[in-house]
Structure 1
Amino acid sequence: MNIKFLSTRLLFFNHSRVNRFLPHPFRFSLFYLFPRFLSDTSSSKPLKILLDNSFVGLREKSGYYLDKTHFISKIEDLEVRAILSLRPRRFGKTLFLSTLLSYYDIKDKVRFKQLFGDLYIGKNPTPLASSFLVLKHNFSGIRINSTYENFVEAFYESLNADFSRFMYRYKQELGEYFYDFNKKSKKNALANFKDILNAVELSGHKLYVFIDEYDAGMNEALKNESIFQSLKDRNKNEDASVRCKIKSIDDSFKQFFSHLKDACNMGIACVFLTGVTPVVLSEFTSGFNISEDLATEKEFWDLYGFKKSEVELLLDKALGNSLSDVKERLITWLKEENDGYFFHPKQPEGIFNTARVLYCIKKFMKQKEELGDSSDSSVILNTLLDISSDPNTLPSQTTLDLIVNNPLGKSILSEALNQSPLKLEKHVKQRFRLTNIRELAIDRTPLLSFMFYTGALTYKPGSYELQIPNNIARREFIAEALKIYDWKEEDQMSIRRCLQILEGEDNIEPFCRFIEKVLLAPLKDNSVVHSNEEALKQAFMSALILTLRADIEPEFQLSFQSSNYGGKAIDLVKTSTEKRIAIEFGNIKIREINFNENLINWQRATQVSRSLLEKSEDEILDLEILDYNRNSSTIREFLENKIKKCNDYLPPLKNRNDAKLKSMFIVLRVGLHRLISRRVYCFNK
C-alpha cells in the first residue's frame, strides 16, 4: 500500500478530524461491469419512481435510486478543490449534487449507515465522509429583469437566505464563532460570506460549497436583449446609470467567486458546481479558473444517465420477469427515443437520458395496470407505449431559440437532420464567454460545441464528428424550426402532397409553388437585394428536412471522365428507393433585370419582386437582363443556357451504379419571390 500517497492525499484536505494514516478501504475495481452491484435491484422492494431530486428524500421514502456513488472516490482521487460537472438538462446533476452534500455533511454522520449503507460508497467509505460543513446555493432562481433593477438584490437575498440556513444548521459546530445571522441580515451578502469563511476557519472545520446551475445567470442574460447588448458592447457612450447597474452585476459575481477562490487556495473550502455549458463569465466570475472540468473526461462518461444494462434491470423491476419479448421491443424503442449520448468519442456505449427513461418507465407501470389478463404481446406493447410525451424539452427553451434563430445554427441543424457529418477539428470548445455566445453565427466550432453541451448534438461513436443523439432531440428541433416558418399542420400536409407528386409524377411545379407561397412570399427585408442560389437551396432543404424527408445530399459530387467537368457538384440531390432526383438552382437578382427604374431602395425592390408573382411565365421569360456577365440578353436565354449545361451533366449522373437517376430539374429564382422550373430529364419520358 502506498502510504506516502495516502498521506499526501489527506494532507491536501488537511482536516483535523481525519486520521491521515487510515488505510484506503478496499474498492471493487470492476464494479462497472456489474450493474446489479450499482443499482437498487432488490426484488423484495416494490419499484417506486419518485420525482424527487433530494437524495435524502429518495432514501427515506424508499424511492428508486441508481447508485453512482463509486464516482465519489474517483472525484477525490483528482485531488482538486473545485469541480465543474456539466451535462445537458435532466441528466441527474442535481440529485448527484444532493448525494455529495449528504455524504460530506458532518450533520448526516449519525445516519450515514441509514442513507448509504447499501450503496457502494457506504461499503467503501473514504476518510472524508461526514467531515465538512456544507453550504448549498442554487442560482436557477436568480432573475435579471430588463432594467437590471432586481438582480443584485435578488442575488444577495438568495445568498443571505442560504447563509442564514447554514449558520443555524451548524450552530453547535461553530461554537463561539456562531453569530445571530438575522441581526446582520441587512449587511452586504458578500461581507456575510467572508464572515462565514472566517467562522469556519476559526472553528477548525472545513467547508464544502455546492452550487447547482452555476450558469443560470448566463441563460437569463441570453434571454434579456438589453442586458446582453450592454454586456457585449461596453459602450462608453452608454447612459451612466446603465453602466453603473452593469457594474453592480459584475462586482456581485466577481467578489463572490473571488472569496470562494481564496477559500479554496487557503485550504478552507472545496467547491462542486453543476451546469450545462462551460461558461467563462469574464464579466462575472473573473479569476475563478481553478475548477477541474469533468464534462469530456472519459473516466466520467457515465457519471450521469443510464446505461443499457441499467435500463434493462429497471424494466425487469417495473414489469416483472415475464414479457421478455415485449421488454426487448421496449428497450429498442427507448434506445431510439432516449439513447445515443456520447460525451466522449471513445466511451464504450451510449447513455440514456435519466429523466426521460424514468418518465417512460413510470408511465409503463401505470399502463400495465390496464392490461388485465391479456397475453397478446402486440396488444401489451401497444398498450404500454400508449403514453403521453414528456412535456419538458431537453435543451432549455432559451437554448432552442438561440440555435434555431441563428443562421449558422439552422444550417447545422439541416445538415444534422440530413445525417451529414458535422466535423470538429479535435475536441469541443472547453470555454465560452457570455459576450461571445450570440456571435456564434460567424464561427462554426464554438456553435457546434455549444450544441454539444446543451444536448442538441453528441459525439458520433468512435469519431470527433457530431450528430443528433436520438429521435426526441430530432423532433424537438424540427418543432422549433417549424415555429420559425410559422408552419401549421396543413402546411406539412400540403408539402407532403407536393413531394408525392414530385416523386410519383416527376413534377416539381407544386413543390415550387409551395416554396413561393410559404417560404419566399413573406420575405420583405433587404434580402431582396442579396438573394442568391445558396439561400434558395437552403429553402428547399428546409422544406424537405422539416417534413422528415432527410434523404437529400447538397453539393452532390460528380465524377467526369473529362477534366473539363472535374469537381462539379449538383446543387441538391434527393435519393429514395435507390432512385435519384437532381435539382440545379439558378438566381437572377431583381437589380439585374431591366424594369426601367433604379431599384436602389429595397422596399421598392421588394414591391417589384412581389409583382412578378402576378405575371405570366412568358412575361417573365421575356424580361431583359442588365448584367452582361450573364452572357444572356433575356431571362429566357439564361434559362436555355442553364438547360444546356445540365444536359452535359446527365451522362455521369445516369451512369452511376449506386442509384438510378429518375429525373432532373432546374429551378430558377427571379427576384426574391418568383420561381420558374424546367424538367431537364425523366427516366420514364
Structure 2
Amino acid sequence: MLKWDFSEVSPQGDGEEIKRNLYEYLNLRIGAFSDYYRETLSEYPIQVNHQNALASFQSLLNAVRKTGHPLYLLIDEYDNFANELMMGYRHAEEDRYRAILSGEGVMKALFKTVKAAAGGRGLARVFITGVSPVAMSDLTSAYNVAENIYLLHRFNALCGFREDEIAAMASEIGKECKLPRSQVIEALAMMRTFYNGYRFSRRTEERVYNPTLALYFLKAFQRDCDYPDEILDSNLAMDRGKMHYIARLPEGRQLIFDALAEEEPVDVRRLADRFGAEDMRYAPKDTGFVASLLYLFRYLDHGRRHALRQADSYHSQSGYPQTLR
C-alpha cells in the first residue's frame, strides 16, 4: 500500500519549484514505503532517484512486481494545487497551475505514469480523493481511466454515520453517565438538527451524519455527561477562500443568500462535472455552475425525492430533475 497526500506538497513558487517540491515528497514516500516493506523487498531494492521521482516510482513498481504482490496506490488531496487557483485566482497563480497541469506539466507526467502502471505494470488499483473534480478535468488526457464514484448510492453512507449508529453510541453514553432516557432522546434530537442531512446520491433517501461533528459532540457528551458549549466544531468551519471565490462569481452572492434563506430549493438542470482552469476562468458562471460548486464543497445538498419530482422544468441528462438545498 503506497499513499500520497498532496496537501503535504507546497504549491508555492514557479513550475520548476513546485516540481522539485513534488519530487522531494514522492521520493520521501517511496523511501518510507521501501523501509516499511524492507523484509518483503530485501531481494529487490528500490532505487531512489533524487533528480527524478518518476524514475523512483518505476523502480518501486519493478521491485513490487517481482515480489508477486499487487500494489495499491492511495492519492489524497489530489486537487491541492487547483484549490490554490480557486482561492487566490490571480494571474500568477493561474500561470503556476497551468505550468504543472498543462502540456507536459509535472502533474500530467505523473498521472501518465500512474495510468501506464495500472495497465499491467504492477499497479493493481488506484483510489483518488479530493475536494472537487477541478484538477481531474485538466488531467483528462493524462488520466482518462478514472471512474467517479462519489454520486453512487451504494457509497452514500461510506463517510458518515447512520442514524442507528448515532443512536447506539448515544444510548451507551447515557448508560455510562446514568442519564435519564429523556436526555438521551434530547441529545439525539439536537444532533439530528445540526449534524444530520448529508445525502451524496439522489438515488437514496438515507441521510448521514457528518462524522467529524458527530464525534465532536459525542466525545464531549461522554466526557462531561453534558452537551458541548459550542454545538459546531470550529475545525469544520467553512473555507472562507472558497466562499469568497464563489461570492465573486456573477450568480454566486445571490445564490449563497438564497441557500442560507432555505425558503426555496435551488433547481439546476444537471450538476456540472467539468471545472478545468479554462472553465473556471472563461465558462459561463450561471446558476447551475455555481450551485454545482457549492454542492461539491458540501454547502448544498440533494433535496428530497418528492421535491425532485415537483421540479418539472429542471432535468438532468438522465431525465431526473435535480434539486439542491
- TM-score tier by shorter-chain length is 0.7 to 0.9
Partner SS for 1:341: coil
Letter in 2 for 1:421: P
Match of residue 186 from structure 2: 329
Residue by residue, what CA displacement relative to the aligned partner does 1:371-413 show, whole Å, maximum 9, x if unpaired?
xxxxxxxxxxxx5253464112354333222223333111111
- Structure of higher RCO (CA pairs closer than 8 Å, 6+ residues apart): 2
Match of residue 150 from structure 2: 295
Looking at structure 1, the residues matched to 230 and 101 of structure 2 have their Cα atoms a distance apart, in angstroms, of 49
User: Per residue, is there more strand in 1 or in 2?
Assistant: 1
Which of 342, 345, 357 is the equivalent residue of 2:202? 345
Residue by residue, what CA displacement relative to the aligned partner does 1:117-145 show, whole Å, maximum 9, x if unpaired?
xxxxxxxxxxxxxxxxx111111112222
Please tell me whether Structure 1 or Structure 2 has the larger radius of gyration of its CA atoms: 1
Looking at structure 2, the residues matched to 401 and 167 of structure 1 have their Cα atoms a distance apart, in angstroms, of 42
Which of 21, 26, 33 is the equivalent residue of 1:166? 33
Looking at structure 2, the residues matched to 284 and 216 of structure 1 have their Cα atoms a distance apart, in angstroms, of 14
C-alpha change, 1:280 and 1:188, in structure 2 (3 Å) is same
Distance apart, 1:227 and its partner CA: 3.8
C-alpha change, 1:417 and 1:223, in structure 2 (3 Å) is closer
Match of residue 259 from structure 1: 113
Contact conserved, 2:137 with 2:274, CA < 8 A, in 1? no
| 1:315 paired to 2:180 | no
Partner SS for 2:209: coil
Which of 62, 68, 73 is the equivalent residue of 1:198? 62
Q: What's the TM-score, normalizing by structure 1?
A: 0.42
Contact conserved, 2:4 with 2:26, CA < 8 A, in 1? yes
| 1:432 paired to 2:275 | yes
Residue by residue, what CA displacement relative to the aligned partner does 1:504-561 show, whole Å, maximum 9, x if unpaired?
xxxxxxxxxxxxxxxxxxxxxxxxxxxxxxxxxxxxxxxxxxxxxxxxxxxxxxxxxx
Contact conserved, 2:200 with 2:302, CA < 8 A, in 1? yes
Kindly, what percent of the aligned residue pairs are identical?
A: 27
Gaps of 5+ in 1: 1-133, 235-244, 369-382, 468-685
Looking at structure 1, the residues matched to 138 and 304 of structure 2 have their Cα atoms a distance apart, in angstroms, of 36
Distance apart, 1:156 and its partner CA: 0.7
Gaps of 5+ in 2: 309-321
Q: How many residues align?
A: 305
Q: For 1:399-418, what aligned pairs fall within 5 Å after superposition?
A: 399-418=242-261
| 1:214 paired to 2:81 | no
Which of 74, 90, 94 is the equivalent residue of 1:229? 94
- Following TM superposition, the consecutive aligned residue runs of length 4 or more in structure 1 with deviations greater than 6 angstroms are none
Q: For 1:180-195, what aligned pairs fall within 5 Å after superposition?
A: 181=47, 184-195=48-59
C-alpha change, 1:221 and 1:149, in structure 2 (3 Å) is farther
Match of residue 422 from structure 1: 266
Match of residue 451 from structure 1: 294
Contact conserved, 1:421 with 1:465, CA < 8 A, in 2? yes
| 1:392 paired to 2:235 | yes
Distance apart, 1:431 and its partner CA: 3.4
Letter in 2 for 1:160: N
Q: For 1:241-260, what aligned pairs fall within 5 Å after superposition?
A: 251-260=105-114
Partner SS for 1:271: strand
Looking at structure 2, the residues matched to 395 and 448 of structure 1 have their Cα atoms a distance apart, in angstroms, of 16
Contact conserved, 2:153 with 2:201, CA < 8 A, in 1? yes
Residue by residue, what CA displacement relative to the aligned partner does 1:315-360 show, whole Å, maximum 9, x if unpaired?
1122227422112222221122111111112313211110001011
Partner SS for 1:420: coil
Distance apart, 1:250 and its partner CA: 5.1
Looking at structure 1, the residues matched to 65 and 26 of structure 2 have their Cα atoms a distance apart, in angstroms, of 19
Contact conserved, 2:62 with 2:122, CA < 8 A, in 1? no
Distance apart, 1:439 and its partner CA: 4.8
